[in-house]
Structure 1
């Protein structure tokens, strides 16, 4: 039996890195007053049809949609923002607070060709700032994204930003872009030719080299932005410069979801091949209103966890401090008293339960990441002491059981550094 294509098991030696990401970002986002939210993996299909856009690749090619036993159309969530918007409306979160800062961490599902860093079941960390149109919110979420990536040791990435304006400005730009692209219709790649009718802005995302060359001289959306849109965008750029956060303006960046307006941004790296986007996000001022909620301007982003793990340079190795060896068969119950002391000191340990002889267990201890080894044999049990062996330098000493807690607390700093 094998896993389904595009899914994978997260094994015990890997799960620690996932936990490290979760607890690290939890601590970081608490500082910024973001609160965790969990939404169901299953949602009504209509939620995504109304929010993502019917002419997007996600809707047309990638959603896992099925009919349940109640003849309802159900979809495994392909992204997080629409579910957050639905939760905000259905739980009337706007009644408790005008601004809601939320974050989520969990699996998403898209039917795509599996590649390194891209699975059909993948995981995202995302944040959403709901309830303000201020560019300060855009700056805050970009700053947090940059801080998350720095925290995990990423260095060679670039933040690309653009303003895609409001609906009226995009409509005006769409006409200008179509007038330009129709001159080269026969030279565009097949997907872009289809998008001339369905979704012209998505042509700007084309990876086809010939299409990219055609786009070099295409009109830029900035030419259609009014003073309000330009002021919003320029404020963001000015603040990012002040914060010494490097960024690049990419006039062809539009993002692949219909609900975005004004700010759009992506964080890209050249270390992942084709899957070069680590983080993507932007402003979506009309989405919640479009889904039946109150007017709620919002901004947010999502980071792909699998890609983050591939790039993180400071993935920690799980620390094991004490390796416990048991010898003999008499009065082994006393081992639980020793383990209780270790638990009270909150020190990680591993109990050898193989039943091997002392030499084999010591060999296993040396192959473990533990720093010290407890040797508990019949002599130790009889005389109420533990033989402690420091595995790095083989120094050995006997510690009375009554003094063990004090001993561990005295040496605890060695176990955490």
Structure 2
């Protein structure tokens, strides 16, 4: 590689191989689960007017003041690459007349951008999956969203995480709690970290989430939200927890879990790896796997009418790290490969490949290299069967089938493709589930397979 070759920008990544397969597995699983829950797919612009994020995230937050990629376009208007999805979806809800579909359940995924220090599982261009329920003030919306997240993680094979749950109360409860926190921390202000001292008047709830050892001695005795909950807020949280129990979603109470922005209400949650688990080791200090909450005041900050809403997001890169080399992310047992031997059979091999793929069977076409390299390519693709077609086989109207697990080889009539391929794979799947031993490959291919 020449020294003049441009390098990737710091904080970005080129995803390839097993990492790309794990990434795709996360997205495919998310798409399957969101359809089960009837969430509509939406696609959002990659950039918005800067005010969309400044107003929704708060002018004083680190994301707005330090991490946003903002620029002036040729017309002099300030635009920002999206640092998160929720604000853009809220803007679209207001400007596109989506209120008519409320309660609206939407989901999306794609790249986001934040200028922060790159580290394990954290990039300047990163990707998230996102789900929102807008226009539903009932606790059942929170339950459905959390049940969806729980099922997603289970279907990804991530079982060593737990839902941490808290309530921030309604607006009245939250304001009373906020005032009590200011009074409590003001008495020990000089002993707090510089960051918490700065947050004290503006955002005291964030102090509860501090990891600074100077703050920790004061956190245990800080006022708890439960002492300030209104009757309505208590009933809302009880409905959420009882709904989660009924849905079979395990959770633990996390009284220190907060959301600093004023428009957050009621439910706040994070799925966090269990202590000492493989997921905890894989993520290190970046512990949250999936998080979100109810943001009933957001629409008003964007100039809309009061609109209840709840949502969550999760980093695809982090989920992919936990999926790793899971079997489900690899080619499945239905993958086959076709190897032509000689130029005279390449067109027939193309026909075979097309016929197999028309039945939605993953098929690798190994057309390059000597026979050893082609077989290696078929093996790397995860092929269960390889179909070898040479001049002699073609003249006899057959193709040689090789079972990559047993090493058996036997001829198959070309006229049986693609039905014969489907039957072979279907018999394998059935035998694996029933525990039965299959006849030899030659016996299975000795007569035309049964037709559906």
Query: In which range does the TM-score fall when normalised by the shorter chain?
Result: over 0.9
**Which segments of structure 1 move beyond 6 Å, counting only runs of 4 or more?**
none
SS at match of 1:106: strand
**Structure 2 counterpart of 1:302, from 308, 313, 331:** 313
SS at match of 1:239: helix
Q: Deviations over 1:260-311 (max 9, x none)?
A: 1111111111412211111111111121233122332111111121111122
Residues 1:288 and 2:299 aligned together:
yes
The whole-number CA distance in structure 2 between the counterparts of 1:363 and 1:254 is 53
SS at match of 1:277: coil
Q: Which residue is equivalent to 1:42? A: 47
SS at match of 1:209: coil
The whole-number CA distance in structure 2 between the counterparts of 1:374 and 1:331 is 13
SS at match of 1:234: helix
Q: Which residue is equivalent to 1:93? A: 98
SS at match of 2:318: helix
- What is the root-mean-square deviation in Å for CA atoms of aligned residues? 2.0
The whole-number CA distance in structure 2 between the counterparts of 1:405 and 1:353 is 19
The whole-number CA distance in structure 2 between the counterparts of 1:353 and 1:212 is 64
| Bigger mean CA deviation after superposition, 152-161 or 129-138 | 152-161
| Bigger mean CA deviation after superposition, 66-75 or 321-330 | 321-330
**Structure 2 counterpart of 1:68, from 66, 73, 83:** 73
Q: Deviations over 1:350-404 (max 9, x none)?
A: 2223242x34433544454211112122212333321111121121111221222
Task: Indicate if the aligned counterparts of 2:131 and 2:313 stay in contact, CA closer than 8 A.
Answer: yes
* Number of residue equivalences: 415
Task: Indicate if the aligned counterparts of 2:69 and 2:114 stay in contact, CA closer than 8 A.
Answer: yes
Give the unaligned 5+ runs of structure 2: 1-5, 433-452
* TM-score normalised by structure 1 residue count: 0.93
Task: Indicate if the aligned counterparts of 1:321 and 1:415 stay in contact, CA closer than 8 A.
Answer: no
Q: Which residue is equivalent to 2:182? A: 178
**Structure 1 counterpart of 2:217, from 213, 216, 225:** 213
**Structure 2 counterpart of 1:413, from 426, 431, 438:** 426
| Bigger mean CA deviation after superposition, 53-62 or 235-244 | 235-244
Change (3 A) 1:203 1:382: same
**Structure 1 counterpart of 2:338, from 319, 324, 328:** 324
SS at match of 2:90: helix
The whole-number CA distance in structure 1 between the counterparts of 2:256 and 2:225 is 8
Q: What is the CA distance between 1:165 and its match in structure 2?
A: 2.0
Q: What is the CA distance between 1:256 and its match in structure 2?
A: 4.5
Give the unaligned 5+ runs of structure 1: none
Residues 1:375 and 2:379 aligned together:
no
